[in-house]
Amino acid sequence: MELFPPIPYEGWSDTIPTLHRFVQVIGKVRLAASSRRNHWWNVPFHLTGRGITTRPMGLDPTFAVDFDFVGHRLLVNTLDGRSVSFPLADHSR
């Protein structure tokens, strides 16, 4: 059994710049909405079963941003139960 399937570069090379821009924008949001910690420990993304997440940040409201690479969506969920999302497809350069 192969742990991870092959991911040929040619099949997703157009996705790389778009994903990079999305991650940069959400990284700036995370930088602005989280308390500073030494060595920039407040800004990394964390792996989930479906993609990556910022984990909770901000104070009013507290929210998290998730990249769902299985469902191809970007999701923002708040602690008070509000949620908004949009598809990641068709947002290329």
Q: CB–CB of 62/77 below 8 Å?
A: no
User: Side-chain half-sphere of 92: how many Cα atoms within 13 Å?
Assistant: 7
Q: CB–CB of 62/56 below 8 Å?
A: yes
Q: Work out the pLDDT band at 7, boundaries 50, 70, 90.
A: confident
pLDDT at 5: 83
pTM for the structure as a whole:
0.80
Q: Where along the chain do its domains lie?
A: 14-87
Instruction: Please say if the pLDDT value at position 1 is more than 90.
Output: no
pLDDT digits (tens, 9 = 90+) for 17-54: 888 999 999 989 988 888 777 777 778 899 999 999 99
- Residue type for 61, please? P
pLDDT digits (tens, 9 = 90+) for 57-83: 888 899 999 999 999 999 999 999 999
